[in-house]
Structure 1
Amino acid sequence: MNLALSDEQAMVRDMVRRFLADRYDATTMAKGPMSPDDWRALGELGLFALLTPEQAGGLGGGAAEVMIVSEEMGRALAITPLAEAILLCGRAIAGSAAAEEWGDRLMQGNALLAFATGGALVDGRLRGTAAIVRDGMDADAFVVETEAGALMLVDGQDSGVRRTPVRLVDGSMAAHVRFDAVQAQPLTVPAGMWAEAQALAGLSIVAELVGAMATLLDLTVDYVRQRHQFGKPIASFQVVQHRCARMYTWLEQSRSLLLKAALAEEEARFRAVTAARAYIGDAALKLAEEAVQLHGGMGVTDELAVGRGLRRVLLLSRLHGGGIAARAALAA
């Protein structure tokens, strides 16, 4: 198992890190979704093309590239639609006629696709509701997984699409979406490709969590070294040292599971990602809570990045059922 990055992978990591460092610091990270201009700039850099399969005109980057990019996004506490828009929806339209209409626009950051679950086909039209669709208010189109498991593409401009805004805990905007007899284009996605898309989207989420954990730990260690009590930095107190050591352990165990999932063979990746989700979601939330507590009362305010980071971790750790759903899937 080779854990070292290739020269090309290191270049991608450094490019994304520099891009995000120019836009986010402790005072701005996790204060709101990435701006459309910055999202398009990432598209112009070729980042989304890298993560798009060759069938859709992309460069066919794999799990390692997904992990590298997503972990950097997590380090900056960047709020983006990467997992659903690029990894799920981008692969759902790959190889279909929809790729001609949406593929290039998606890779360039000029269009946004949102993933929704719910609804059913009735007389050839999609009817029903999809609850809490991330980025659903801004989506130009929806990839919908119906109650029967079919994948459909719905144009967001269809008059039968009704959206109700929902503010999520990290400040991003989702939507309750109702489909009132809308026209839907069937998407034919091989079972193996769809399973891989779901695995990569899950890998992206856990990689973001690991990146966020690293940032929250760094911020906390810096704070306890500077904060004085009884004439000494609180980092000199043994109980604080033990709590920081426990946070470091959670991070390193999570990073190991992330690497194992990213380096797993394709047929074993879905289960490896599920195992990572089963641990990392809970570990990330515990680390974020410790970071807030060690910052004291300021930690829960919007003034500090740790408070905003906690809310970001809370959302990511609960996506797709979180650790509870992952453990149930492993036990099934």
Structure 2
Amino acid sequence: MSNEELRPEEFAQAAEAAITDALTRQDPRAMAEVLAQAGLCGVMAAEDDGGLGLDLAFALPIAQAAGRLRLPLPLPEQILLASALAGTPQAAALAAGERLAGIAWQGSLQSGHARLDNGPADWVLVADGDGAALVDASAQPRDEQGALDPEQPQTWIALEGATVLARLDGQAWRALQRQAHLLLAEYANGAAEGALQAAADYMATRVQFGRPLSAKQAVRHLLARMRLLQDVSSAAIRRATRTDEYGASRDTQPALAGALSNAAFVIEKAIHLHGGMGFTWELPLHRALRAVRKLDTAFAGLSRDAGRAFIQRV
């Protein structure tokens, strides 16, 4: 499919409709089936693998919509792996939504364990020396840790004896990491966008002393600051997708680090503006905060690494 036939903005609208439809299903596999039928799982996958063959620009708005609508599936990871494993049976299965896949950012095949922060997943990509390996984790022993999210806990997976389905060399693994930084940054930015919109709507309709809360200057200032941070994250993500003035690829770590920090601030303030409602199941903004905090722990030390890389470059 030619990128000229479709614009990312138009695809984003279709993605939102498909994700909204998927959320009406209770079973994760049923959700994945809906998303795959809409072409979301295979948006970047090769056409020979049943994908659309589009580039990262079309996946970014999908990740944003998944975060904004609080999709409880690792859709960004599914998109990345269906593309990175091009030409393999695993890529076709992921593009078709037949299997769920995630990426473990903590642990490795050599250490014998890895932590999955965004699940559920049948297959998990784990670090393997300079590259990475896709393992079948469906039958592996697991230790769930629900401190951050009791509904979708982080999971340590024992890898001893796990079947390796496919491998990525060092170059492919580094390319996937770069794309993952941008997709997950957009996912976090989308989670914050949904929280900000919910807060703005609530402030506009909640009336005290004859005036909506949005008429109060303190509230307006806070909403403006939240919007500013949203715009900063969006600009950083877009900038990281482009080459610098010398034609070299930009470092994607600062975009992800900034998006996670800004998203956490925006969502926490949205919960604050809603009062206790932000922690209720009727208005589950806490789910968005948990998703962002889990990403933050998955990439522990990211800000430090980005800062060190910047210092070394200058």
| Range into which the TM-score falls when normalised by the shorter chain | 0.7 to 0.9
Alignment match of 1:129 (pick from 113, 116, 120): 113
In the alignment, structure 2 segments of 5+ residues that lack a partner are none
Tell me the CA shift for residue 206 of structure 1.
0.9
| One-letter amino acid matched to 1:223 | Y
User: Secondary structure of 1:48's match?
Assistant: coil
User: Secondary structure of 1:164's match?
Assistant: strand
Check whether the contact 1:209–1:313 (CA below 8 A) recurs between aligned residues: yes
| One-letter amino acid matched to 2:28 | S
Alignment match of 1:245 (pick from 215, 224, 227): 224
Check whether the contact 1:154–1:182 (CA below 8 A) recurs between aligned residues: yes
Structure 2 CA distance for aligned equivalents of residues 305 and 57 of structure 1: 35
| Distance verdict in 2 for CA 1:177–1:249, change over 3 Å | same
Answer yes or no: is 1:46 the counterpart of 2:45: no
* Equivalence for 1:207: 186
* Equivalence for 1:61: 54
Check whether the contact 1:292–1:310 (CA below 8 A) recurs between aligned residues: no
Check whether the contact 2:39–2:52 (CA below 8 A) recurs between aligned residues: no
Check whether the contact 1:21–1:76 (CA below 8 A) recurs between aligned residues: yes
* Equivalence for 2:98: 110
* Equivalence for 1:149: 130
* Equivalence for 1:124: none
Deviations 1:239-280 (A, max 9, x none): 111111111111111111122223447x84450x21212322
| Distance verdict in 2 for CA 1:20–1:112, change over 3 Å | closer
Answer yes or no: is 1:20 the counterpart of 2:19: yes
Which residues in structure 2 correspond to 1:254-265 (within 5 Å)? 254-264=233-243
* Equivalence for 2:72: 79
Check whether the contact 2:109–2:126 (CA below 8 A) recurs between aligned residues: no
Answer yes or no: is 1:305 the counterpart of 2:284: yes
| One-letter amino acid matched to 1:104 | A
* Equivalence for 2:159: 179
In the alignment, structure 1 segments of 5+ residues that lack a partner are 122-126
Superposed CA RMSD:
3.0
Check whether the contact 1:282–1:323 (CA below 8 A) recurs between aligned residues: no
Structure 2 CA distance for aligned equivalents of residues 264 and 329 of structure 1: 17
Tell me the CA shift for residue 109 of structure 1.
0.4
The alignment covers a number of residue pairs equal to 304
Check whether the contact 2:41–2:82 (CA below 8 A) recurs between aligned residues: no
Structure 1 CA distance for aligned equivalents of residues 170 and 249 of structure 2: 17
Structure 1 CA distance for aligned equivalents of residues 145 and 15 of structure 2: 30
TM-score of the two chains, using structure 2 as the length reference: 0.83
Percent identity between matched residues is 26
Structure 1 CA distance for aligned equivalents of residues 267 and 138 of structure 2: 39
| Distance verdict in 2 for CA 1:172–1:324, change over 3 Å | farther
